[in-house]
Structure 1
């Protein structure tokens, strides 16, 4: 069954979308790490490169603020995902006012559009998406802890809405696998779209196709 994915009125790309204030050392390190991880991959970046990009002369700054490189990876993942999740929650704020078919379509769109908006909204957006696509291949536990957490209201709302639509019971393990597959597909496809200068497919084509693919995985 094909779903008509409605355009969202609550989330729109904006070149002035807020980004974290980089005025203090900790946030400068997160911003530097996000850029470098997106450019060169997580394994291709040394701590000294991050310190240099952040303008940080204290060689123990990463250990002081994050404990380790993995701690910095986790902080960089979480920093932008909070904004993505807030957009997702905003998209679903009026979900109960829609008919069932429109609810389902909007929920599926919410699995994709907030990430596309992140890629479009500011200079680090494309780098963040590429970074997350790489991180997904590095550690399932990292993603489970910092991205798929039930503490994120938008993600939790999506999962609850999809559970109401799902045909038959799904084990916890099976659902976790489906979510990982959805994340891999969505992030990799958006990263590829960004790498090709936001083409060849249009923004709306990308969102609609990924939402349809996510329906097959999550429902």
Structure 2
């Protein structure tokens, strides 16, 4: 039931799936089993979010711990700690549609996603962002935080596309090259580290009281 619910949430979104849709997809006769185990559709979705987030967070935290011990903290390495736990999730757990579900929730049910994570199951993500802030002092902090949010949205959408192509078996020219994931990381790094344009700096100064520096 959880596998089918995750697949439906990934494809249709939280609001586009009914309890009966989940029951039918799981081959159940009525909704009693869903209500018995999960209470309702939202509680089931919350459990699905936490199931994957906990595994991703454990992997991220372990990767960051190793980088800190080895002295290997770089922008590229931290981006790897963000991305590879998500890419590895399906292989380790069989959660083939998790990234697409999260990407859909991020776009359409952001408040629900945040509440489900409880500021508890994304600590590795927060650690990565804190490291990136330290590694990119040349970018004004408010602008860097904006870019981190964009990379989060862009990254989930890109990885959702990767996940879908993997499952369809039709990776095509976008994901089949050996350099595809590395190239994707290049784009993340560029988004974060590129020098702000004069236009952006001017608008940033205007948006801050008295044009005070954010660092």
Residues 1:135 and 1:151: Cα distance change in structure 2 (over 3 Å): closer
2:77 paired with 1:103: no
* Alpha-carbon distance in structure 1 between the residues aligned to 2:89 and 2:172: 16
Counterparts in 2 of 1:1-219, with a 5 A limit?
A: 29-57=1-29, 59-63=31-35, 65-99=37-71, 103-121=74-92, 123-125=94-96, 127-147=97-117, 149=119, 151-167=121-137, 169-171=140-142, 175=145, 177-196=146-165, 197=169, 198-200=171-173, 201-202=175-176, 205-219=179-193
State the shift of 1:32 in Å: 2.7
TM-score, normalization by structure 2? 0.69
State the shift of 1:111 in Å: 1.7
* Alpha-carbon distance in structure 2 between the residues aligned to 1:174 and 1:71: 34
- Count residues in correspondence: 187
Gaps of 5+ in 1: 1-28
Q: Residue by residue, what CA displacement relative to the aligned partner does 1:91-113 show, whole Å, maximum 9, x if unpaired?
A: 2222124456x533210111211
Residues 1:163 and 1:113: Cα distance change in structure 2 (over 3 Å): same
Alignment check: 8 A CA contact 1:193 1:199 kept = no
Select the structure that is richer in helix: 2
TM-score, normalization by structure 1? 0.68
Superposition RMSD on alpha carbons, in Å? 3.1
Alignment check: 8 A CA contact 2:10 2:98 kept = yes
Q: Residue by residue, what CA displacement relative to the aligned partner does 1:163-194 show, whole Å, maximum 9, x if unpaired?
A: 211325524x972x434322221121122223
